[in-house]
Amino acid sequence: MMNLKILASMVVLGLFATSCNDHNNDPMSPLMLNITGLEDLGADFRYEGWLIVNGAPVSTGTFSVNSSGTPSSTSFSMLTANLTGATKFVLTIEPYPDSDPTPSATHLLAGDFTGTTAPLSIGAPEALNNDFTAATGKYILATPSNGDNTDENSGIWFLGSLPPTAGLVLPTLPAGWKYEGWAVIGGTPVTSGTFLTPMGADEFNGFSGPSATPPFPGEDFLVNAPTGVTFPTDLSGGKVVVSIEPFPDNSPAPFLLKPLLADVPAGAMDHVVYNMNNIIASNAPTGTATR
């Protein structure tokens, strides 16, 4: 007669095998992503897709994008039940490797499924919740932190008038994002600091001198120049940019989302208010998720 312990083990193994076979036989279907405008996130971050099923996120998998903007994958095999039950798709930026199975706060694109397709945009409520087309900006060239009215074209301040008033009109960002100002010096983008609101000082003053500066985003480029750049400088003929950056940030360079840009006039004068152009339509990624 067969040993009872052996028989019990065989029953357990049989149940386990049946359970595995049942799971393996669950129907699968492809999710297709067609997204343009993404950029290489570097070695430490990945894009990750999420289906929202019964209000909860279900990962569709991660992918990278090369320097040409080509994604490593555009098709993802998903449980058919999750695909058909999904009401939304969300694309996030995640650290790599990532030990957290839940989505990060950095939601880049999202959209609602209508039939088989979800149009994706940064303006969706589950993404940045604003299209940024109403953003406006002004700036002046000045170096208040050296206190002696020299090298005035070596500083950028996002001001609308003098005495100082806020020069930027920007919507409030959701968690996972920050604004960042930039001056492009000899082709090299140099940060003027990150900020959440244009109504106060930004989070950086590492290039400025010892004197007080206006309580608004901006920077004097006077000391501690980064490699390849010389301070003081003359920003005439360069560019000024305001970008929207992931937080945590994936790169020391500007992220792909740039709502505001200005070409600094070749003969720019200090303490004169110049306007910025809204260019978000040219750099915001868009796409579709199809089930």
Please tell me the predicted confidence (pLDDT) of residue 220: 98
pLDDT in tens, 258-282: 999 999 999 999 999 999 999 999 9
pLDDT band at 158 (very low <50, low <70, confident <90, very high): very high
Please tell me the predicted confidence (pLDDT) of residue 161: 84
pLDDT band at 15 (very low <50, low <70, confident <90, very high): very low
In sequence order, the 6+-apart residues with CB closer than 8 A to the CB of 5 are none
Please tell me the predicted confidence (pLDDT) of residue 24: 61
pLDDT in tens, 47-105: 999 999 999 999 999 999 999 999 999 999 999 999 999 999 999 999 999 999 999 99
pLDDT in tens, 111-157: 999 999 999 999 999 999 999 999 999 999 999 999 888 999 999 99
What is the rounded CA–CA span in Å between residue 99 and residue 258? 30
For residue 3, pLDDT beyond 60: no
Average pLDDT over residues 27-48: 98
Please tell me the predicted confidence (pLDDT) of residue 16: 35
pLDDT in tens, 234-260: 999 999 999 999 999 999 999 999 999
